Amino acid sequence: MDALRYQFHPCCLGTPSLAHAWHFEENRSEWLFDIDERFNYLPKFRYFDIRTPENQEETFRVVICDPPFFYIPMEQIFAAVELICKGDFSTKILIGFLKREEATLLKTFAPFRLSRTNFPLEYAHVKSNKWTNYALYSNIDLPGIKRIRK
């Protein structure tokens, strides 16, 4: 959260915990695009289905995404992100994903020029001994989040 403190106008795509924390811990309302309507109490919640994305009026500088990678094909995730970015591949992206699917992620998201970062992901609903199976990928360096250069 601290790394994005100065990034304005992000879209939280499938990251309700982040939008919730910003709202209640920092009195900051950011757009949350999510299918889970339990989060409609957030002022900028918008129902959004990655499988059938729809155009949005807003333009975002940053998209933070933690997609449901077990049942949605990578191409559909990419199409939703591309739509939100309005085809602007210079949009800054942060996406949490399974390390074992890294090659597919990087190939599919090649226009965004993503790299794995050094930022350790933690999940509320994943056992802590499994956290190392996930990585954060991005096309931007932020305080505390640096891309790993090969």
- The pTM assigned to this predicted structure is 0.89
Segments of the chain assigned E as strands: 10-13, 31-34, 45-47, 62-65, 92-98, 115-116, 134-138
| Total domains in the fold of the chain | 1
Nearest-angstrom CA–CA distance, 97 and 121: 9
Q: What is the CATH number of the domain that holds 77?
A: 3.40.50.150
18-59 pLDDT, tens digit each: 999 999 998 999 999 999 999 999 999 999 999 999 999 999
79 in Cβ contact with 125 (< 8 Å): no
Q: Is residue 1 part of a domain?
A: no
Query: Residue 62: which domain range?
Result: 11-138
Q: Is residue 6 part of a domain?
A: no
DSSP structural state of residue 140: S
52-95 pLDDT, tens digit each: 999 999 999 999 999 877 789 999 999 999 999 999 999 999 99
